[in-house]
Amino acid sequence: MSAKSALAAAESSASHGLKTQADVLTARQQMATARRDLRKARYQQLTSFIKLKSTLGELSEGDVDELDRLFSASESDESAIAMTSTAQPTP
**pLDDT value of residue 1:** 66
Q: Is the pTM of this model over 0.75?
A: no
**pLDDT value of residue 55:** 95
60: left (phi over 0), alpha (psi -120 to 50) or beta: beta
Mean pLDDT of successive 10-residue stretches along the chain, which has 91 residues: 85 85 91 94 92 94 88 61 46 42
**pLDDT value of residue 83:** 47
Cα radius of gyration (the chain): 19
CA of 8: how far to CAs of 2, 78, 79, in Å? 10, 22, 21
**pLDDT value of residue 70:** 82
**pLDDT value of residue 76:** 52
- Return the number of other C-beta atoms located less than 10 Å from residue 10's C-beta: 23
